[in-house]
A and B are shown apart, each in its own frame.
Chain A
């Protein structure tokens, strides 16, 4: 029961995608081309995210740590 309404909802979402991007109007080979292009772009973006996001986060974390860390040292010296 839940699966059926879920399936209907996903089908409705797919229809919306088709209507918004005008792929409803395309001939089958154009649709294939369009979807292939979209899927390839999506896969590339996800792959890039998978590789680079952890490195970026750890670099950013270290940068902020260094920033706040050096401030801490400065305040200590002035107090002294």
Chain B
């Protein structure tokens, strides 16, 4: 294969060189800062080998005012409709208590239910859209209409064909139906069937699982791994096994619900630090060590930091080098959830650990899912062999949950082998490179057009800010009319004033598809007046100041 950057074992060659340099010149981490590492002209004493550029531009003031105005009008009309429903002037379609329960504690009076009834219902047709094909770069949508303003839907029977898919987490394009690609999967399907009918600890461990776990461990460069049938359950069922009462969990502000649920189920004390803010995290760590547990002042049994690789609503990447330094200094553990970043970032797709050029030994618990980049379902936890052996016996998922079914395991195996280059082609690496190119192109064009985009320049998740509630519905509906499917998000998944449209760039998108989407966005941005960015064409992204961590050892 005429590939200039000689790929061996799926690791890029210069990665080995870097490690050799480190040992050869006897440069070890002194005071936590690697000295004398001149690479591509980056100066000494920096933790980040490439520039870390993130954007979180604030909207102009008039946008915030108008957003509140829109919500105000919506709220007034919400109260009006609630009044009409309560007094019988309008047919009641909502959930309500029964007559006998009118004197009980009210169930539907809180803000979330009010919001759902009065605002969400009006634009409900933009979510839960049923698709009827594989969610590749294009898909088919079932057309549905509503006669009573989104309370009920009916299908017309027609399908909208070849809608460009900007919403699926199909980062590497492995969600495909190509017969050649799925050959091994069909063989395994005919060999094993579809059901497992047992849990891991009873009779549900197949040779496929062992093979997959060994492959995952090799892919990530760790000692051992364990796979689970569901990605959400991987977090929520394994965090309680790792921490308990008397332990401290330091969790990022914007962590996913699975992490929050797992943390709450465990019974440990949870403290939240500001999103990606290392000063906030360091302060919490210092307070935890100085003051100990709340009343007894005893030392915490364990301090664990929960972060994600890429945050899916912001598109920001975790500041891993600084967190690893902090955890080593204060002797805490690190749990990294790479649901969106495994396969999507890094030179060979091995996630944020590779993206920052760090070793996987720095992270204690590596967790990830196969739903996003591998086109399958399920999750894994990887790390040292002791940790994984412990989880095999103590995890709720291992004891009670059905294990991953064999065709899905085979899909992950073939996707991972493709990524590592073990199937004899460079297709995996090409996919990762294509994703990187697509991401950079898409983000650059959107910045040039003048939209407000959040997140890191290298993350394939691109949130485009809409702000006003009226524009959420208009944006999604008009994009569908132009045959592009997007995901719009509002409250409660995001702060109430920052509703956004979230694009997920895929390696399977061609340049033409991206150009179609970008032209449609350009037009729509002018029509709906979405180009709020105050930095025009030659944009100067706000470079984050490198935090100077003074570490005295």
Measured CB to CB, the residues of A under 8 A from B are 12, 15-16, 18-27, 30, 34
A21 CA to B73 CA in the complex, in Å?
A: 6
Separation in Å of the B164 CB from the closest CB of chain A? 24
Chain B residues near A19: list those with CB within 8 A. Answer: 468, 470-471, 474, 528
The residue from A15, A18, A20, A24 contacting B69, defined by CB atoms under 8 A apart: A20
**B520-534 vs A, Cβ < 8 Å mask (1 yes, 0 no):** 000000011100000
Separation in Å of the B150 CB from the closest CB of chain A? 10
Separation in Å of the B426 CB from the closest CB of chain A? 48
Q: Cβ of B511 < 8 Å from any Cβ of A?
A: no
A20, B468: Cβ atoms closer than 8 Å: yes
A22, B70: Cβ atoms closer than 8 Å: yes
Chain B residues near A15: list those with CB within 8 A. Answer: 527-528
Q: Cβ of B441 < 8 Å from any Cβ of A?
A: no
Q: Cβ of B394 < 8 Å from any Cβ of A?
A: no
Chain A residues near B149: list those with CB within 8 A. Answer: 27
For the complex of A and B, the 4 pairs showing the least CB-CB separation, nearest first, are: A19-B470, A25-B122, A22-B470, A22-B74
A32 CA to B70 CA in the complex, in Å?
A: 17
B73, A23: Cβ atoms closer than 8 Å: yes
Chain A residues near B474: list those with CB within 8 A. Answer: 19, 24
Q: Cβ of B428 < 8 Å from any Cβ of A?
A: no
Separation in Å of the B79 CB from the closest CB of chain A? 12
Chain B residues near A18: list those with CB within 8 A. Answer: 470
When A25-B122, A25-B473 are in contact, do A16 and B77 touch as well, CB less than 8 Å? no
Separation in Å of the B479 CB from the closest CB of chain A? 15
Separation in Å of the A14 CB from the closest CB of chain B? 12
Chain B residues near A22: list those with CB within 8 A. Answer: 70-71, 73-74, 77, 469-470
B470, A25: Cβ atoms closer than 8 Å: yes
Chain A residues near B71: list those with CB within 8 A. Answer: 22
B70, A12: Cβ atoms closer than 8 Å: no
When A26-B77, A30-B77, A34-B73 are in contact, do A21 and B470 touch as well, CB less than 8 Å? yes
Chain B residues near A20: list those with CB within 8 A. Answer: 66, 69-70, 468, 470
Separation in Å of the A51 CB from the closest CB of chain B? 28
Measured CB to CB, the residues of B under 8 A from A are 66, 69-71, 73-74, 77, 80, 119, 122-123, 149, 468-471, 473-474, 527-529
A20 CA to B68 CA in the complex, in Å?
A: 9
The residue from B122, B123, B527 contacting A12, defined by CB atoms under 8 A apart: B527
A15 CA to B527 CA in the complex, in Å?
A: 9
Who on chain B is nearest to A15 by CB? B527
Separation in Å of the A39 CB from the closest CB of chain B? 15
Chain A residues near B470: list those with CB within 8 A. Answer: 18-25
Chain A residues near B122: list those with CB within 8 A. Answer: 25-26
Separation in Å of the B31 CB from the closest CB of chain A? 54
Separation in Å of the A13 CB from the closest CB of chain B? 10
Separation in Å of the A49 CB from the closest CB of chain B? 22
Chain B residues near A16: list those with CB within 8 A. Answer: 529
Can you list 21 A-B contacts with CB-CB less than 8 angstroms, sorted by A residue number? A12-B527, A15-B527, A15-B528, A18-B470, A19-B470, A20-B66, A20-B468, A20-B470, A21-B69, A22-B70, A22-B71, A22-B73, A22-B470, A23-B73, A24-B473, A24-B474, A25-B119, A25-B470, A25-B473, A30-B80, A34-B77
A12 CA to B74 CA in the complex, in Å?
A: 22
- Known A19-B474, A24-B473; further 18 A-B contacts with Cβ < 8 A: A15-B527, A18-B470, A19-B468, A19-B470, A19-B471, A19-B528, A20-B66, A20-B69, A20-B468, A21-B69, A22-B70, A22-B71, A22-B74, A22-B470, A25-B473, A26-B122, A30-B77, A34-B77
Chain B residues near A21: list those with CB within 8 A. Answer: 69-70, 73, 470
Who on chain A is nearest to B77 by CB? A30
A23 CA to B69 CA in the complex, in Å?
A: 12
Who on chain A is nearest to B471 by CB? A19
Chain B residues near A24: list those with CB within 8 A. Answer: 470, 473-474
Chain A residues near B80: list those with CB within 8 A. Answer: 30
The interface centre, meaning the residue of A16, A19, A30 with most chain B CB atoms within 10 A of its CB, is A19
A25, B468: Cβ atoms closer than 8 Å: no
A17 CA to B74 CA in the complex, in Å?
A: 14
A36 CA to B102 CA in the complex, in Å?
A: 36
Chain B residues near A34: list those with CB within 8 A. Answer: 73, 77
The interface centre, meaning the residue of B74, B149, B470, B473 with most chain A CB atoms within 10 A of its CB, is B470
When A15-B527, A16-B529, A20-B66 are in contact, do A25 and B74 touch as well, CB less than 8 Å? yes
A20 CA to B529 CA in the complex, in Å?
A: 10
Chain A residues near B529: list those with CB within 8 A. Answer: 16
Separation in Å of the A72 CB from the closest CB of chain B? 45
Chain A residues near B528: list those with CB within 8 A. Answer: 15, 19
